[in-house]
Amino acid sequence: MSEITNGIKNAIVNIKIIGVGGGGNNVVKRIAENTDLDLDLIAVNTDHKQLKSLTSDNITKIQIGTTLTKGLGCGGNANLGHEAAENDAEVIKQALKGADMVFLTAGLGAGTGTGALPVIAKIAHDMNILSVGVVTVPFTFEGARKQKLAEASIKELMPYMDALITVHNDNLLKIKTSTKLTLLNAFRMADMVLRQGIRCVTELILTVGVINVDFADVKSIFQQSDHPDALLGIGESSESAVDAVKEAISSPLVERSLSGARGIILNISGNSSLSLYEVNEASKFINEHTHPDVNIILGTVINDNLGDKVRATIIVTDFSDNASPNEEKASTENKDTATKATTDNTVKPKTDDSLKLPDFMNKEKDNKKSSFSAFPFFNFKNDIK
């Protein structure tokens, strides 16, 4: 049973959001400032100063690795972040108790988030909690080492995730306004993308709509695939729901065609004049551009704060070919390298000790395939705060 108060479902579904490290903590902070939904927000960090800066009473703060870092950060050492989480595994387990669903979010490539997130993901997996990851990969200008650490952390996460959305920060450079994007706003935007990814799913479950999507619907979509690859798109239009859907899926920041998608959650939000015809046309458009056997779960939310705009949120999973853009890109690069090697005998593999992975990431594992990149639509002027 669920009670309804001011358009919010007071359901028995317990959703926890765990932000790990600096990037994850920032996401949790922004969610606390911008939501009325009933969410358990948890910030995990080795850095006491950063945790102390989170002043909201709605955030549970967990400091890990106190004996290892003495209350400081990990200094980019992912091994230290991993060990810190393992040492405080019982504390993390207690924080996860009672959760039906958990979102794990971090900016990967440094120490705490990169090392600790896979440990927390395994704990949630062992507790049979539906787990969705929303993470970022660093900008190229941050260096090859950070990107390599991030990709290795993603591989560690894969076996424990029901869905994993990976946002490559370089995709920020593809938006029309990127030439005017300040360095500070670039990182704020990356945090905002993680927040948007989490918000769209929690709204689907916890907000009352004319056509509702509940936890069982979301769970069925995320668990119907053997691969955790997931894609998220958000679009807005003043014209129609179909245009909002097109905006969500056709952005150059969404790197994959939906033609092979077999699992879709579509949420359409608009004011009280949102028509059945619009919703039907939007759903029809999705049907026409996905796999013939696609399982579509459609939900609607009435939100008069949107004015004359319609917002479409789409979550895509269970691709029939299971190949990600990351893998396709790697395959192309490998072919190019092989071709170059056959024509230039002087080509030698590059080695650099600074690019070596942390010890815990060098273990041989039969991991699932690498997650592909996803980037939701956003309004540059309105969403950067």
Q: What is the per-residue pLDDT across 143-158, written as a single tens digit (0 to 9) for each?
A: 999 999 999 999 999 9
Q: What is the pLDDT of residue 137?
A: 92
The pLDDT confidence band at residue 308, using thresholds 50, 70 and 90, is very high
Taking the C-alpha atoms of residue 51 and residue 253, their distance in angstroms, rounded to an integer, is: 32
Q: What is the pLDDT of residue 214?
A: 81
Can you read off the two tokens belonging to residue 133?
A: 């990851």
Mark the binding-site residues for GTP, compressed into ranges.
Answer: 22-26, 111-113, 142, 146, 191
Whether 39 shows a pLDDT value over 80: the answer reads: yes
Whether 51 shows a pLDDT value over 80: the answer reads: yes
Taking the C-alpha atoms of residue 44 and residue 17, their distance in angstroms, rounded to an integer, is: 11
Q: What is the pLDDT of residue 315?
A: 82
Mark the binding-site residues, compressed into ranges.
Answer: 22-26, 111-113, 142, 146, 191
Q: Give per-residue pLDDT as tens, 206-255.
A: 887 777 778 888 898 999 888 888 877 778 899 999 999 998 888 755 67
The alpha carbon of residue 136 and the mean position of all alpha carbons in its chain are separated, in whole angstroms, by 7
Given the candidates 3.40.50.150, 3.40.50.1440, 3.30.2350.10, 3.40.1280.10, the CATH classification of the domain at 10-206 is 3.40.50.1440
Taking the C-alpha atoms of residue 252 and residue 231, their distance in angstroms, rounded to an integer, is: 13
Q: Domain 224-322+375-383, what architecture?
A: 3-Layer(aba) Sandwich (3.40)
Q: What is the pLDDT of residue 330?
A: 45
Q: What is the pLDDT of residue 178?
A: 60
Tell me the angle at which helices 276-288 and 241-250 cross, rounded to the nearest 10 degrees: 30
Q: 324 or 18: whose pLDDT is higher?
A: 18
Element (H, E) at 313: strand 310-319
Can you read off the two tokens belonging to residue 12?
A: 């028995």
Q: 306 or 95: whose pLDDT is higher?
A: 95
Q: What is the pLDDT of residue 177?
A: 61
Q: What is the pLDDT of residue 144?
A: 94
Whether 88 shows a pLDDT value over 70: the answer reads: yes
Q: 106 or 193: whose pLDDT is higher?
A: 106
Q: For the chain, where do the domains classified as CATH 3.40.50.1440 start and end?
A: 10-206, 224-322+375-383
Taking the C-alpha atoms of residue 59 and residue 55, their distance in angstroms, rounded to an integer, is: 8
Query: Mean pLDDT for the chain?
Result: 82
Q: 356 or 181: whose pLDDT is higher?
A: 181
What is the DSSP-derived secondary structure letter of residue 207? Answer: B
Q: Give per-residue pLDDT as tens, 194-215.
A: 887 888 888 888 887 777 778 8
Task: Give mean pLDDT, residues 7-36.
Answer: 87
**pTM for this predicted structure:** 0.81
Task: Give mean pLDDT, residues 283-294.
Answer: 91
